[in-house]
Amino acid sequence: MYADGHALEEVRDYVTQWMWRYNHERPNMALGGITPKQRLAMAVKLPQMAQAMLALH
């Protein structure tokens, strides 16, 4: 599609930046207005919190 590697590298850079913004900065209404990164952090914390609560009993 592209004749030179330079143009392809520009496309890769653009897509990489877009994906980062999409996952780290853009609130997602399907996730309740939080970013995918925030949702992932919550998913990791919940099992840790549950495990800590079970250890108390």
Is residue 2 pLDDT above 60, yes or no? Answer: no
Task: Check residue 45 and give its pLDDT.
Answer: 84
Residue tagged 């919190």 (tokens):
49
Question: Read out DSSP for 1-57?
Answer: --SSHHHHHHHHHHHHHHHHHHHHTS-BGGGTSB-HHHHHHHHHHHHHHHHHHHHH-
Res. 3: pLDDT tops 70: no
Q: For the whole prediction, is pTM greater than 0.75? A: no
Q: Per-residue pLDDT tens for 4-56?
A: 667 889 999 999 999 999 989 999 999 999 999 999 888 888 777 777 777 77
pLDDT at 57: 65
